[in-house]
Structure 1
Amino acid sequence: MELLRLLAAVLLVSVDRTALGISHPKPSCHYPPSQWCRSLEIAIECKVQKQCMELNAIRPNETVPPVSITLYYETLCPDCRIFISEQLFPTWLMLKDIMSVTLVPYGNAQEVQSPTPGFICQHGEPECRGNMIQACILHLTTNSLAFQIIYCMESSADVLNAAQPCLHLYAPSVSWSSVNSCVSGDLGYRLMHGNAVMTRALNPPHTHVPWVTFNGEYTEEHEEKASSSLFHLVCELYQGVKPPACIGASVKLSQSD
């Protein structure tokens, strides 16, 4: 609940209607406040280009490396789904300027070579398909789009049946047939083999999922903090000047036109 309240606060801080001196969106602006600073064209249409320039000025220093988070998971694992939907994705929405996320769908699966090369998954064949669908989506789209699609899937009642509508919602230019071709072809196998190699190379070896590393390292302390408040842990680990979302500072936008 605290994380959701923080998310709402950050979205309000990003473009505060009261600070802009308006109580309703202007008729010419067809975008929600969270999108007003997404591009120069949108900022001009919504008449907030000055305010967006001020926001850009307080973004974290790009020379400081972001907190690198790698999640090793499997698509039908209940704890993985909770972590993605309640911790990882909301935190990324608020702090994506200071964090990077790598998703490795494989988890406790096993790679086998006989009678034919393939994989055995903890939650059966449906999970193997889910893992491969998400591996293919990660390959066929940008990291940002893939994360949104995967969040959409993992937060749905039926992960596999949500795959196609989630893809069409966030990446309409990517055809479902291209994902199916990846899953059923050699590319899907090679992507999953790569995830298997990454997972087997973990040191210490993973003993459960979700398994999360920060800047390439795993500690029980970080895992415990991440499971309860990933947002605060990312703020704590970031070595640059903390963004307003971390320190709770208000962003005062100019009211001048």
Structure 2
Amino acid sequence: MVRLNIYIFFFLVYPFILLTNGYVPEKLHLTVYYESKCPDSKKFILEQLQPTVELLHKYVRLRLIPFGKSMSIDYGDEGFQCQHGPTECMGNLVQDCALKYMRKHNDVQRVNYVVCEMELEAGAMGNLGCVKHARLPTDDVERCVSTGEGIALQLDSEYHTNSLKPQFIPSITINGVFDQQIQESALVNLKETLCSYLKEAQPCAHYYNNKVWEYLFYSP
């Protein structure tokens, strides 16, 4: 019976592997709404976003929006009020400014920078250590943080976040669309969630093929 299953596997799956080899589908637009000191954001970015982007960066275009459940006061003239306190407001601001200067960096580099901030909370403490580690122009980032430039970036992040009206942070959209089932799936397995859209992408084909092998040989 096992041998028959193997034959079925190669008959059905192996041609699919050959067809998907080298195939590059249209990129998914993945947007992540998060907060700099949010434990759930940290868990998602470290455990789900970073490994998934490393695997699927050729197939995804990522946007990171550090704002979450924050709120501007008098259109930013009086600063911002943040869910986890004033240091989170600083962390959001530093990340928004740093990400501005990473627009020509690839998604892996940008996620690695955010991972540093989420792990160390450097920006939230007014420390530009993660900015330096990412080899960004610290003087420019510091100027952005201390002037209206950073406030304008946070107001833009507020606008996009309020347009979504997320009930939970972090939240994600795919191709600009929020779906509660996709959200719940992404929080526990972002790779599998994105692969459900990218089945013909080689890393996803490999992922599903491994699932088939596990089913054939390890199912009771």
Smaller-chain TM-score bracket: 0.7 to 0.9
TM-score, reference length from structure 2: 0.76
Correspondent of 1:213 among 173, 177, 184 = 173
Q: In the aligned structure 2, how far is the partner of 1:59 from the partner of 1:165? A: 39
Aligned pair in 2 of structure 1 residues 84, 159: CA closer, same or farther (>3 Å)?
farther
Aligned pair in 2 of structure 1 residues 128, 83: CA closer, same or farther (>3 Å)?
same
What residue number does 2:65 align with? 104
Q: Cα deviations across residues 138-172 of structure 1 (Å, max 9, x unaligned)?
A: 1112343332211111133656359523222222x
Q: Does 1:155 align with 2:119?
A: yes
Does structure 2 retain, via aligned residues, the 8 Å contact 1:74–1:80? yes
Does structure 2 retain, via aligned residues, the 8 Å contact 1:74–1:105? yes
Q: Which has the higher helix share?
A: 2
What residue number does 1:165 align with? 129
Aligned pair in 2 of structure 1 residues 200, 129: CA closer, same or farther (>3 Å)?
same
Does structure 2 retain, via aligned residues, the 8 Å contact 1:182–1:188? yes
What residue number does 1:138 align with? 99
Does structure 2 retain, via aligned residues, the 8 Å contact 1:76–1:159? no
SS in 1 for 2:128: helix
5+ long unaligned stretches in structure 2:
1-19, 211-220
Q: In the aligned structure 1, how far is the partner of 2:63 from the partner of 2:115? A: 13
5+ long unaligned stretches in structure 1:
1-56, 251-257
CA shift at 1:175, angstroms?
Answer: 2.7
What residue number does 2:201 align with? 242
Correspondent of 2:56 among 95, 115, 133 = 95
CA shift at 1:177, angstroms?
Answer: 2.1
Q: In the aligned structure 2, how far is the partner of 1:75 from the partner of 1:139? A: 16
Q: In the aligned structure 2, how far is the partner of 1:210 from the partner of 1:148? A: 17
TM-score, reference length from structure 1: 0.66
What does residue range 10-49 of structure 1 map to in structure 2 within 5 Å? Answer: none
CA shift at 1:237, angstroms?
Answer: 1.0
What residue number does 2:148 align with? 186
Aligned pair in 2 of structure 1 residues 116, 158: CA closer, same or farther (>3 Å)?
closer
Q: Does 1:225 align with 2:189?
A: no
Q: In the aligned structure 2, how far is the partner of 1:200 from the partner of 1:77? A: 18
CA shift at 1:226, angstroms?
Answer: 0.6
CA shift at 1:221, angstroms?
Answer: 0.8
Aligned pair in 2 of structure 1 residues 182, 117: CA closer, same or farther (>3 Å)?
same
CA shift at 1:225, angstroms?
Answer: 0.9
Does structure 2 retain, via aligned residues, the 8 Å contact 1:110–1:120? yes
What residue number does 1:42 align with? none
Does structure 2 retain, via aligned residues, the 8 Å contact 1:153–1:163? no
What does residue range 59-70 of structure 1 map to in structure 2 within 5 Å? Answer: 59-61=22-24, 64-70=25-31
SS in 1 for 2:191: helix
Q: Percent identity?
A: 27
The residue identity in structure 1 corresponding to 2:65 is: V
Does structure 2 retain, via aligned residues, the 8 Å contact 1:71–1:211? yes
CA root-mean-square deviation: 2.4
Does structure 2 retain, via aligned residues, the 8 Å contact 1:110–1:121? yes
Q: Cα deviations across residues 18-42 of structure 1 (Å, max 9, x unaligned)?
A: xxxxxxxxxxxxxxxxxxxxxxxxx
Does structure 2 retain, via aligned residues, the 8 Å contact 1:137–1:146? no
Q: In the aligned structure 2, how far is the partner of 1:128 from the partner of 1:153? A: 13
Q: In the aligned structure 2, how far is the partner of 1:158 from the partner of 1:187? A: 20
Q: In the aligned structure 2, how far is the partner of 1:137 from the partner of 1:210? A: 20
